[in-house]
Amino acid sequence: MAKNLVIVESPTKAKTIKKFLGKNYDVIASEGHIRDLPKSSMGIDIDNDYEPHYITIRGKGELLATLKKASKKADFVYLATDPDREGEAISYHLSVALKLEDKKFKRITFNEITKNAVKTSIKNARTVDMDLVDAQQARRVVDRLVGYEISPLLWEKLGKKSLSAGRVQSVALKMISDREKEIEAFIPKEYWTIEADVKVPGQKGLVSFEYKGELTDGKEAEDLKKKLMKSDFIVSDIKTSTRTKKAPVPFTTSTLQQTAASKINFSTSKTMRVAQQLYEGVEIKGRGTVGLITYLRTDSTRISEEADANVRQYIRDTFGAEYEAEKTEPTGDKAKNIQDAHEAIRPTDVTITPAVLKGNVTAEQYKLYKLIYERFVGSRMKPAEYSIYTVTISADDSLFKASSSTVTFAGYQNVYNTEEEKAKKAVNLGGIQKGDKLDCEEIRTLQHFTEPPSHYTESLLVRTMEENGIGRPSTYAPTIATLLNRRYIVREQKNLYITELGQAVNNVMENAFPEIVDIDFTANMETLLDSIGDGKTDWKVVVRNFYPDLENEIKHASENLEKIKIADEVSDEFCEECGAQMVVKYGSYGKFLACPNFPECRFTKHYFERIGVACPDCGGDIVRKTTRKGRPFYGCINYPECEFTSWNRLVDKKCPKCGKYMIIKGKKVVCSDNECGYTEDRPEED
């Protein structure tokens, strides 16, 4: 009998696939890439039309020898790496490294690791798609040119050789920086609301009705309250309406990362790691190793006809035919450059419910599978239906409203529900009739201030990157991980903050390479890379058009960076070990003081940048500090005796209105007390 060899990427995947194929198949893992660009040099021959130079990855020699030996023994080789551009590139490099002849190998792909999918892929084996290989190659070449050309300039500028720039990571860093600037410059605006607590027939306790009007200050609110206290509260209008809420579509990579962050508190990297485990296969008692979900890197919400039929049958059997959604194309927000190369992320077998799985998998695997499973089943169920009852009350010429919402048909919410929907408390307004006079027990005036834009979280950053066409499903998690690992950003309570080091890197990129950090430029590059994969554009044309502009920017930046190169700033403090005058250095946690006689003397100490402002609490110097994770703030030099801190820089001036300390917000100097609200323009020279 003929002996066939199947090469996959991971040992777990090999184990899962092996049981689907007969004894005439050997399955071996390449453990990712076999060949890649060298780490020690750029590996791009710019003078030879940007020809890449690939080498065998260090440490893969023994594995490559094993693969060569197995491929020579085999009558036929199937390259079964992941069904995306990177997987296509790995298959191509395997065919080159193993010196496979065209008649001896084929490429197979499957969106899920099931017996049917694997056997079908072998029947539909094809040649390697060189358009997809070229698209991946173009991405690697462009990213390599950016990283290896710009990074040395960052080393020169900031004196730290662990710094790096990247085509996608630099844009993401700028997005975080811009958001921080927006938040810092935000000045809250005061507004007021009024609530009337009213007795409602048939309802225990009081019902709060909200005033439908705008109030900008406390005096206006108090004047209206006095007027309302003398007024009758008459029911002037009652409306009954219906509302439907459609089921969400199945998960894409982006929406899975966002939802996993909000519902089960997973970081993007953790979500992808656990999803990879579910895709490659998990040992289930009585079933062996089973691939539980479809491929995890996708921007499509489409599912196969077979999967659609199976889940609909499951819904009819479990919930009843009345819960099955109409057979129409699912709608949802789609990115501009959606590739639709794969299905959405879904369970491979709808009969493997979370209950069946519990006890066979880790807690992390269970949580993520349950999320994917419930979203998928819910996507083929009918919308939830609500009855909305809205009551309007008139008090003189002021209107107050309250609404109650009742679920009349749960639909998909029997399976997939959000915490917000579960938390809603029903209010019974059915006992009210138009013209009724209601007793108002209390009128409350409430002061509010407008909120600044939200800090980026990982999920919000992923959503914004997707909306702007920055990166692709496979790049979101690695991009954020790189920024965190480089200490350009830190994560605190889910929020992402730019560090002092990250801000310094971003300043260089914005000034020297504005096109690289331009969102539209980066999105356009992604579109060009997509067109290479579609066979519409030659990959070298994209690189030829890109590199000359980059080269000119690098030459220009090199000249300017030499002129403005930052020398070590000499401090007014002296080394406690050798007596030399200490200098200011940059580190992973921001600035620190170091002895200039390094490496002979290695003494260092904290650097405190005095800003010339006295502490409002104790009169000591206010200094610029950084948190352990690198986020800058301002605090008293006398800590821990004095614990005064502020996220905003203070100015040497008291508020003329209330006497409290003042802070900088963008182009304004504002009172630190929001209730005071005093602001003035920041001096031009500042």
- The DSSP annotation for 195-245 comes to EEEEE-TT-SSEEEEEE-S-B-SHHHHHHHHHHHTTS-EEEEEEEEEEEEE
Q: Token pair of 352, please?
A: 């493997």
What is the rounded distance in angstroms from the CA atom of residue 100 to the CA atom of residue 428?
74
Q: Looking at 295, 369, 389, 589, which residue is catalytic?
A: 295
What is the rounded distance in angstroms from the CA atom of residue 114 to the CA atom of residue 278?
12
At residue 586, the pLDDT reads: 66
- The question of whether 314 is a catalytic residue gets the answer no
Q: Is the peptide bond before 599 cis (omega within 30 degrees of 0)?
A: yes
Give Cβ neighbours of residue 153 (< 8 Å, ≥ 6 apart): 508, 512, 554, 557, 558, 561
Give Cβ neighbours of residue 239 (< 8 Å, ≥ 6 apart): 388, 389, 390, 392
At residue 335, the pLDDT reads: 41
Q: Token pair of 632, please?
A: 């800058």
* Nearest Cα to Cα of residue 533 among 180, 89, 144, 45: 89
* Nearest Cα to Cα of residue 250 among 136, 124, 374: 374
What is the rounded distance in angstroms from the CA atom of residue 640 to the CA atom of residue 570?
27
Q: Which residues of the chain have pLDDT under 70?
A: 1-2, 159-160, 328-341, 418-426, 561-569, 586-590, 629-630, 684-686
Which residues, listed in sequence order, are joined to residue 387 by a DSSP beta bridge? 242, 406
Helices (H) and strands (E) in the chain, counts: 18, 31
Q: Token pair of 63, please?
A: 């594995």
What is the rounded distance in angstroms from the CA atom of residue 394 to the CA atom of residue 192?
19
Dihedral pair phi/psi, residue 402, rounded to 5°: -145, 150
DSSP label of 455: P
What is the rounded distance in angstroms from the CA atom of residue 556 to the CA atom of residue 562?
10
Q: Token pair of 435, please?
A: 């013209």
Per-residue pLDDT reduced to its tens digit, 328-367: 654 444 444 444 457 899 999 999 999 999 888 999 999 9
Burial per residue of 395-415, b for 16 or more beta-carbon CB atoms within 10 angstroms, e otherwise: beebbbebebeeeeeebbbbb
- 3 state DSSP class of 624: strand
pTM of the model: 0.80
Q: What are the contacts of 479-488 at 24+ separation with CB within 8 A?
A: 479/166, 479/168, 479/169, 479/172, 480/172, 480/268, 480/269, 481/268, 481/269, 482/164, 482/166, 482/169, 483/169, 483/172, 483/173, 483/176, 486/162, 486/163, 486/164, 487/588, 487/589, 487/630, 488/173
Burial class of residue 390 (count of CB atoms within 10 Å of its CB; 0-12, 13-18, 19+): middle
For the chain, the average pLDDT equals 88
Burial class of residue 497 (count of CB atoms within 10 Å of its CB; 0-12, 13-18, 19+): buried
Half-sphere exposure of 463 (CA within 13 A, CB side): 13
Q: Name the maximum alpha-carbon separation found in the chain.
A: 97
Burial per residue of 646-660, b for 16 or more beta-carbon CB atoms within 10 angstroms, e otherwise: beebbbeeebeeeee
- 3 state DSSP class of 446: strand
Query: From residue 453, how far is each of 434, 522, 630, 686 by CA, in Å?
Result: 41, 24, 21, 25
What is the rounded distance in angstroms from the CA atom of residue 341 to the CA atom of residue 297?
10
Per-residue pLDDT reduced to its tens digit, 593-647: 899 898 899 999 888 878 889 999 998 899 888 777 667 889 998 888 899 999 9
Burial class of residue 534 (count of CB atoms within 10 Å of its CB; 0-12, 13-18, 19+): exposed
